[in-house]
């Protein structure tokens, strides 16, 4: 297949070709098409440019692995957007939980009376991040 022919394939046809061959050169075409969309979504969740780049790479690595789970019930771009969104929400959730754990573990004594406030503030932060996406 020529380079021009590959670039003219629909996303869905490209995904089908990639899943049949595991050809990373074909995947590079998908990457080029959607790198900026994925990066922009990741940037909204990340704490800086470098973390957004890392998240973008993580998304594409996982997409390559999970590409076979794309069933074509929606457009590929919709599937990729949802995949990216879910990955970023999970990233924020994990990091929020880690920060909470570090805070709890680093304290010599835990103030049981204020623990509900800490949990509530964590939930508020997660809800704020989710609201920013809408």
Give the CATH architecture of domain 35-133. Answer: Orthogonal Bundle (1.10)
pLDDT over threshold 90, residue 60: yes
DSSP for residue 72: S
What are the domain boundaries of the chain? 35-133
Q: What is the pTM assigned to this prediction? A: 0.70
pLDDT of residue 40: 96
Q: What is the mean pLDDT of residues 111-129?
A: 56
**What average pLDDT does range 69-76 have in this prediction?**
93
Whether the pLDDT of residue 66 is over 80: the answer is: yes
Residue range 50-65: average pLDDT? 96
How high is the pLDDT of residue 129?
56
Query: How far apart are the C-alpha atoms of 133 and 103, rounded to whole Å?
Result: 27
Give yes or no for a contact between 41 and 88, defined as CB atoms under 8 angstroms apart. yes
């Amino acid at each position: 297949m020529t380079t021009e022919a590959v670039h003219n394939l629909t996303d869905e046809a490209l995904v089908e070709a990639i899943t049949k061959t595991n050809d990373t050169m074909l995947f590079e075409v998908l990457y080029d098409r959607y790198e900026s969309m994925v990066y922009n979504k990741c940037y909204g969740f990340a704490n800086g440019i470098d973390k957004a780049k890392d998240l973008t790479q993580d998304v594409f690595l996982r997409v390559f692995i999970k590409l076979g789970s794309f069933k074509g019930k929606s457009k590929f771009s919709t599937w990729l957007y949802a995949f990216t969104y879910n990955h970023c929400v999970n990233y924020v959730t994990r990091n929020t939980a880690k920060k909470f754990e570090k805070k709890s573990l680093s304290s010599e004594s835990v103030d049981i009376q204020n623990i509900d406030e800490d949990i509530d503030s964590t939930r508020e932060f997660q809800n704020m991040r989710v609201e920013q996406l809408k």
